[in-house]
Amino acid sequence: MGNDQSHLAGIDIEDKAVEVADFWSQHSASVPNSEQLSNLTIFIGELFVSGPLWTIHTPLEKCSKNLMIYRHPCIIKYISSWSKSSKFYLAVEHVRPLSHVFSTLSTLQLCIGLYSVLKALCFLHEKAKASHNNVCLASVYITDDGNWKLGGMEFSCKYHELSKEHLSKSKANRYAAAVDVNEEENIQKPGVLKEFVDAYAFFVLVGELLKSDSTEDIPALEDFKTLCKNGLKNINIDDRPTLSHLLKHPFFNHDFITIHSFLIELPLKSDEEKVVFFSSLTSSLRKFDENLIANQLSGLLLSRMVLLNPVAQAEVLPKILSFKQDGEHGEVDSALFSEKTFKEHVIPRILDIFCVRDTEIRLLLLKHFEHYIHGFSEEELQSYILPELLVGIKDTNDTIVSCTLQALSVLVLILGANTVIGGKRARFFTDGRPTSQAARKSRQHSKRYSKVMEVENPIMEPDITPSTPINQVLISNLPERQRPDGQEVTLTDDVVQTNEDEVEWEDWEENNDHQHGENNVSSKTVETEHFDDALAISLDNLQISSSISIYSRVELNKKKDIQDISELDIKTQKSKEPNDDIDFFEDMEPEIKSSTKFLVDPGRTEEQTNDNTNKLNLVVTEFEEDGWGEEDWE
């Protein structure tokens, strides 16, 4: 104790003091990288203080020593202490001076606080055999949970050390109004109960806190105030009420005090007592104001001992880890808190509990996750809850992983998948719900029109606008007839950017020669595809190409007088001379010409020429100029 080794690493202490006392200053502090400690209170005092009582230890060192020795739920919790340079530091749980807030508390809250101070004094007198010697408003602190804690123990001592000399030396620094004028005489009486020093100071504290007339229905309030006043006036210390007698007074034994006391002393209760208590707890709590319950009991109701109790998990926690929905007012099975009270008092405690890496506690929070998640703000969900859930899915416990994934699924609906999952995502699912007939026809018409408008080559794109009649679109996209030799029709560079009225179809034979003669001709194959059956009701089995040949478009434009699509068929075309017998396939007979001339050796006889074994013994006598060139082939 009191050395640099107990110094909390990474602690941040605020420069501005919360309160300045005679021997120290009180500051708020935090430990950012600690999972167990978040907010603390630091008392800073001098290492050298003059006075008859401070020859061995300074007041802050003496207070630190007593807090470390006397551990009780109603006494400030000691954390650590150390010295640095000429200063001494004492770290305790985060508390505020009661003098800053007591004027805002209700009579019931004052009653609960006085009960806590009284129990702390009874513990010191009966268990530790020690006297506090400076019970006053400045010695009492209040935690974030609203619980009162006794501190200021720099004047405390054991009963065997409590003497006239000790009281005389400390009298100058103690609270003067709480000092009995006859205490030095009474302390010398044989067999005197030495608790009278603290009892007198407690009576003074009750008179200071319960000054005003209260309109609250607190049992035996006036009787308790009268009892304390008589104790102050009674000079004979043997006739004054003892502190243990005050604990049994009706003022400290109504329902709310009983519940509060049981929750504080829960580790000392038997399993049978816990079953009876938690089974009837929610019905008892509904008798009191929800703000009082949330302010005074929310921390105790969400303590570790309550969270791990099976009966509390079934009977109490479902009403605590949720808030009332719209329309719920006083129902038996409804939650205890409204949404506003829940967000103000319960949510901060859940945030602290969520950081606890305990399997049972985490599973309990995940079980009720969907009931209280809407009490968090989006910033709290993203900054505190989401990181803890992402830790849970990496755990080796399959149950925690499963429950965490269910919680994440609820969180996705609030924060969005980009925040919860992250990474690159794509749309793999579409809306397959059935739609009305009108919407379906509109969508089909849109698809068909987009098919007609699809053109691969900008040069071949037809001049079609949304106002163009559908019949004109169909005629302009009719495919050209296929070549009789099975080859695909190709477009050459010779037939581009020309006037369509001047272009005529060339014979296939000439096209064939032209294809063999030109080596640098760039061509594009015209693709054909089947059109939708619904669009071609009047044109059965008609194939419409999405990329139309220029030859087809030119020829069709020339035939303006076509009345029926069947006239395009060669078998139904009328002859110019009806009496003549015309061969319709005459112009379709291909003539294949070779660009290379082969001559047979004139020295050969006809038999040698017709010999089947020498049919391939040909002699090349002449090459076409635009063939392979004039290379020497010998």
pLDDT digits (tens, 9 = 90+) for 75-108: 999 999 999 888 999 999 999 999 999 888 888 8
User: Strand order of the sheet with strand 95-97?
Assistant: 95-97, 140-143, 148-150
398 pLDDT above the threshold of 90: yes
pLDDT at 474: 44
Q: Which of 479, 487, 490, 459 is nearest to 556 (CA)?
A: 479
Query: Could you read off the pLDDT of 487-541 as tens digits, one per residue?
Result: 444 444 443 444 444 444 444 444 444 444 444 434 433 333 444 444 444 444 4
- pLDDT interval class at 433 (50, 70, 90): confident
Q: Which residue has the tokens 């519940």?
A: 259
pTM: 0.62
Which sequence spans correspond to the domains of the chain?
Answer: 4-97, 437-561, 594-634
- The separation between CA 177 and the C-alpha centre of its own chain, rounded to angstroms, equals 55
13 versus 505: the higher-pLDDT residue is 13
Q: Which of 385, 394, 341 is nearest to 365 (CA)?
A: 385
Can you give the C-alpha Rg of the chain in angstroms? 50
The answer to which of 83-92, 238-247, 382-391, 422-431 has the lowest mean pLDDT is: 422-431
Query: Highest mean pLDDT range out of 118-132, 422-436, 509-523, 605-619?
Result: 118-132
CATH architecture of 4-97: 2-Layer Sandwich (3.30)
Q: Which residue has the tokens 């004492």?
A: 90
201 pLDDT above the threshold of 50: yes
Q: CB-side exposure of 536: number of CA atoms within 13 Å?
A: 16
Structure tokens at 273: 């007592």
Evaluate whether 551 touches 489 at the Cβ level (below 8 Å): yes
Query: Could you read off the pLDDT of 127-139 as tens digits, one per residue?
Result: 999 999 999 999 9
pLDDT at 62: 94
pLDDT at 543: 45
What's the Cα-to-Cα distance from 575 to each of 556, 571, 581, rounded to whole Å? 19, 10, 9
pLDDT at 451: 54
The mean pLDDT value for 55-75 works out to 92
Query: Could you read off the pLDDT of 315-373 as tens digits, one per residue?
Result: 999 999 999 887 566 566 788 999 999 999 999 999 989 988 899 999 999 999 999 99
Query: Could you read off the pLDDT of 445-490 as tens digits, one per residue?
Result: 666 655 555 544 444 444 444 444 544 544 444 444 444 444 444 4
CB-based burial of residue 150 (10 Å sphere; 0-12 exposed, 13-18 middle, 19+ buried)? buried
580 pLDDT above the threshold of 70: no
284 pLDDT above the threshold of 60: yes
- pLDDT interval class at 625 (50, 70, 90): very low
Query: Could you read off the pLDDT of 224-259 as tens digits, one per residue?
Result: 988 998 888 888 888 888 898 898 899 888 888 899
Q: Which of 195, 197, 265, 257 is nearest to 221 (CA)?
A: 257
53 versus 36: the higher-pLDDT residue is 53
Evaluate whether 44 touches 29 at the Cβ level (below 8 Å): no
From CA 352, how far away is CA 346, in angstroms rounded?
A: 10
220 pLDDT above the threshold of 70: yes
From CA 414, how far away is CA 614, in angstroms rounded?
A: 89
Structure tokens at 108: 């019931």
pLDDT at 523: 41
